[in-house]
């Protein structure tokens, strides 16, 4: 009989990190919230040791602030960080788009994914999942694996900002769908340079719309990202 694989401490730490990251990205742990290690360990069903390893990993990645032994807090959304992340992401996605060779089947897939985004309504989870699926499809043919890895790493960093972006609901969804349509039109015309320019402009437009939301969250830290009024 084959023995069941044992769950190691490192596996528990990884699982705890993923669970906490999802809470942070979803706004369940809003920016500025202090982490109660005892309560979180009980909720996740893990001991303090793997939890602390998970918290330290999240702190290294910038999702938490603080130090071991002095407590952690969820890193606030800041205009400064968003203003660094969004332009870089636009440049890198545009570069990946230029290097790829999207065929007709890829463009059809992009159209279907954009149609799914259009149905997100006021559900930020639906919007974010559909939006990132669209962007993933866009760079699927890029041959530079390091560039793709960099883009995906930045997606993880901006995901919590995207909750703030999509929280107002359908108006933001419609804007994103429209921007995607413009990029698709350029790709259909085989004008990759134009599509890449529109991709950079897409992320800069998102940043412009996002900044007032970040300011509002900073003024009302007790609210979760998704609960802030438009």
d(CA 149, CA 96): 11
Neighbours of 150 (CB within 10 A): 17
Pair of tokens at residue 161: 């900002």
Confidence band, pLDDT 50/70/90 cuts, at residue 118: very high
Best-predicted range by mean pLDDT among 6-15, 35-44, 53-62, 140-149?
140-149
pLDDT in tens, 192-208: 999 999 999 999 999 99
The pLDDT mean for the chain works out to 86
SS3 69: coil
Domain boundaries, the chain: 9-74, 79-224
User: Is the entire prediction scored with pTM above 0.95?
Assistant: no
Confidence check: pLDDT of 3 > 60? no
Mean pLDDT score, 215-228: 51
CATH fold, domain 79-224, is: 1.20.120
- 16, pLDDT greater than 70: yes
With a pLDDT cut of 90, the percent of the chain lying above it is: 59
Q: Class assignment of domain 9-74?
A: mainly alpha
């Amino acid at each position: 009989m084959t023995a069941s694989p044992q769950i190691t401490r490192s596996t528990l730490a990884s699982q705890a990190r993923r669970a906490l990251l999802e809470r942070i990205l979803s706004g369940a742990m809003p920016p500025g919230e202090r982490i109660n290690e005892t309560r979180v360990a009980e909720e996740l069903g893990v001991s303090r040791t793997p939890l602390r390893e998970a918290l330290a990993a999240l702190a290294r990645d910038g999702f938490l602030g603080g130090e071991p032994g002095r407590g952690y807090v969820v890193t606030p959304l800041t205009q400064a960080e968003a203003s660094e992340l969004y332009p870089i992401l636009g440049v890198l996605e545009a570069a990946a788009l230029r290097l790829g060779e999207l065929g007709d089947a890829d463009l059809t897939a992009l159209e279907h994914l954009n149609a799914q985004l259009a149905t997100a309504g006021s559900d930020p989870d639906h919007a974010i999942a559909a939006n990132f699926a669209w962007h993933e499809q866009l760079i699927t043919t890029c041959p530079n694996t390091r560039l793709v890895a960099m883009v995906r790493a930045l997606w993880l960093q901006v995901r919590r900002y995207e909750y703030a972006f999509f929280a107002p609901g359908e108006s933001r969804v419609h804007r994103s769908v429209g921007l995607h349509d413009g990029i698709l039109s350029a790709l259909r015309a085989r004008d990759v340079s134009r599509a890449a320019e529109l991709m950079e402009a897409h992320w800069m437009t998102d940043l412009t719309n996002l900044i007032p939301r970040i300011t509002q969250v900073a003024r009302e830290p007790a609210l979760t990202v998704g609960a802030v009024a438009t």
